[in-house]
Amino acid sequence: MRRAHRLLLVLLGLLALSRGGRGQADGPPEGPGTEEGSPSLSIAPSNTAFAFNFYHLVASLNPGSNIFFSPLSISAAYAMLALGARADTWAQILQGLAFNLTDMSEPDIHRGFQHLLHTLNLPHDKMEARVGSALFLSQDLQLRPQFLNDTAAFYGSRLFPADFLDSEGTTQLINNHVKEETQGKIDSLVSRLSTDTVMVLVNYIYFKGRWEEPFNPSKTTPQDFHVDANTVVKVPMMIQYWNDHWYLHDRHVPCSVLRLDYQGRARALFILPNSGKMAQVEEVLTPEMLHRWNSLLQKRAYYRKVRLQLPKFSISGSYSLDELLPRLGIRDLFSRQANLSGITAQRDLLVSKSVHKAVLDVDEAGTEAAAATKVSLTFFSAMRNSHILKFNRPFLVAILSTDTQSILFLGKIVNPTKP
């Protein structure tokens, strides 16, 4: 029996993204994606829906574990892969990414990603973000010109020839490229490449942001973090005593929500369930609820002085998407039913393995993508007439792009001392 040729899809989330499109590229959009009706805003609801679909799937399979991923990296990379998919494989990819193909055309989807990623890549003197993708190709693989043109025009994908019979050499080539593009934060992503691999797609994002209200490192001290009723660990807590912050205690959902802004075009929402109420909060974790919290935390009534202790943290997540995405309806892509005839005329091409890795470091200055993991949380000690928040138990975090209204990262910190 003829063996299937393999396509390895590798996604790096370090505040992460990519691009997509079919047809003729119109050139990069001119401005940021905040205008009403902009292409990037049109795809934001679907991207957010996919983010929570994926979160709930991972949470159900990994109860009691840390979770961290970049939904935008996954959505954008698979939207790009849809450029080369046909028939049921094509429909499953876009529908699995939560796009309604009756309400939105495929060209509009890809133009949305193009505009979104262009916006996120705009230079900013107070925030560093770099998004990119690369195709490592067997010299024997003949790609269709349309696929090459579209991935270059919409994704800015770079092409690298590779000899997959030299598994060790190609592995080093890919890892060296990733290490360079992520400033050394990830240096060993790919291993044990199969000799029948013919293409590896790598998608990455590097992000470094600084808090609008940085913490004083001299005030960081070890504090208790209650993983569960029987487990307490020590974490380094960063302290702010009387700074103004956007903060609310939800009267309808058993949680508090804190907004911390980065200098630039991003913000973080830290969601702290009441003690023992994580499951109840997760049940109502939807795009509508996130929109509600985000909207409320732009009202002046929720801008008040808070006594805050937020631990330094790093958190990472690594996921085999070829095992997870079929549960969201993307099935054929990872089987012999895959139709990727838009990539190449060569038969039997399927995605044999798809890996997503996301890494985030948070310290007194702000946030940086990194390879190590450690989670910092927030703690508030009681003080009369003060607003008190204690992130000394499991909590959720969402990192948002304010320009594009997109979730860049989503996670749950159960034990900040675990990678």
Percent of the chain with pLDDT strictly greater than 70: 83
Q: Where in the chain is the domain with CATH 3.30.497.10?
A: 5-209+315-360
pLDDT in tens, 237-249: 888 887 888 999 9
Other beta carbons within 10 Å of 285: 20
Amino acid 167: pLDDT: 86
pLDDT: is 333 or 182 the higher one?
333
Task: Please tell me the distance from the alpha carbon of residue 188 to that of residue 358, in angstroms, as a whole number.
Answer: 13
pLDDT: is 99 or 336 the higher one?
99
Give me the chain's average pLDDT, please. Answer: 80
Indicate the pTM of the whole model: 0.85
CATH number of 211-311+374-413: 2.30.39.10
The H-or-E segment that residue 289 falls in is helix 287-296
Which range (200-209, 287-296, 397-406) has the least confidence?
Answer: 200-209
pLDDT class of 10 with cuts at 50, 70, 90? low
Residues 104, 144, 100: CA angle, nearest 5 degrees: 15
Predicted confidence (pLDDT) at residue 414 exceeds the cutoff of 80: yes
Biggest CA-to-CA distance, the chain: 75
Which range (43-52, 84-93, 176-185, 247-256) has the least confidence?
Answer: 176-185
CB within 8 A of 301, min separation 6: which ones?
A: none
Task: Please tell me the distance from the alpha carbon of residue 297 to that of residue 204, in angstroms, as a whole number.
Answer: 30
pLDDT: is 364 or 405 the higher one?
405
Fold of 5-209+315-360: Antithrombin; Chain I, domain 2 (3.30.497)
Predicted confidence (pLDDT) at residue 374 exceeds the cutoff of 80: no
Query: Per-residue pLDDT averaged across 161-168, rounded?
Result: 87
Query: Per-residue pLDDT averaged across 259-264, rounded?
Result: 88
In a 13 Å sphere around the CA of 238, the CA atoms on its Cβ side amount to: 19
Contact 238, 223 (CB under 8 A): no
Q: Where in the chain is the domain with CATH 2.30.39.10?
A: 211-311+374-413
Whole-angstrom CA distances from 125 to 29, 246, 260, 320, 364 are 20, 24, 19, 35, 19
Whole-angstrom CA distances from 110 to 73, 82, 90, 154, 321 are 14, 10, 13, 8, 21
